Structure 1
Amino acid sequence: MKAPILIVKNLPAEGMAIFPFILLKKESYKKDKQILNHEKIHLRQQLELLIFPFYFLYLVNYLINILRYKKHDLAYRKICFEQEAYQHENDLNYLKNGNWFGWLAPGKSGT
């Protein structure tokens, strides 16, 4: 998946995917295959849900998690979309293997 990459120096994270773009905090991250793969997984998740429902479900999942865990970092890491992306960010073949909707069963999707 080829996505346009934008550098946003004030980005609150190393990277972010907002369809169809990948936003990166630093120019040097363009060479970081792990960050790029993580964000490409998010782009596919957005396509799986026809883009806008992804953002709604992402926010709802985060809000439920923040109520449950009371800590931003843990609530963020427990978002089902983040779990899939973190679990497979080092597998550069993950997207090629057709593992669609892996976020539905975090920890169980895989190659």
Structure 2
Amino acid sequence: MLVTASKYLVPKGYVAITIFPFIILRNKAHKSDEVLLNHERIHLRQQLEMLVIPFFLWYSIEFLYHLVGCRDFQRAYRKIRFENEAYSNEKSPDYLKSRPFWNFVKY
């Protein structure tokens, strides 16, 4: 896991983006936010399990599906199962130690 900061690579309205093996933060100050880093580590695990490219294809297709259904960018984003898993478990620092393989399918 490589953590770096760049306000140019993180889309407006977000504080971080994860593209295996990088966690890119909008601001260096976020390096001390353990909840945010855990959220992004969950995405790293998801990407690794799906061999990265299929993760982004699934993520994009699911986002577009929800966007067509609800016509709300933020709601569509929050309905993505990868995000559901990450948001549901970001406050559990030991989550990744016991997380079942492909656990995102439960969300």
State whether TM-score is above 0.5: yes
Instruction: Give the match for residue 22 of structure 1.
Output: 23
After superposition, the C-alpha distances for 1:1-27 in whole angstroms (9 at most, x for unaligned) are xx1111011322111110000000110
Q: Give yes or no for the alignment of 1:31 onto 2:64.
A: no
Offset of 1:102 from its aligned partner? 1.6
Equivalent residues in 2 for 1:1-111 (5 A)?
Answer: 3-10=1-8, 11-12=10-11, 13-106=14-107
* More deviation, 91-100/18-27: 91-100
Offset of 1:65 from its aligned partner? 0.4
Q: CA RMSD in A?
A: 0.8
After superposition, the C-alpha distances for 1:29-88 in whole angstroms (9 at most, x for unaligned) are 100001000000000000111111000000000000000110000000000100000000
* TM-score, length basis structure 1: 0.90
Q: How many residues align?
A: 104
Stretches of structure 2 that go unaligned for 5 or more consecutive residues are none
> For residues 99 and 24 of structure 1, what CA distance do their matches in structure 2 show?
27
> For residues 105 and 35 of structure 1, what CA distance do their matches in structure 2 show?
22
Runs ≥4 in structure 1, deviation > 6 angstroms?
none
Stretches of structure 1 that go unaligned for 5 or more consecutive residues are 107-111
Higher helix share: 2
* TM-score, length basis structure 2: 0.94
Percentage of matched positions with identical amino acids: 39
Offset of 1:98 from its aligned partner? 3.2
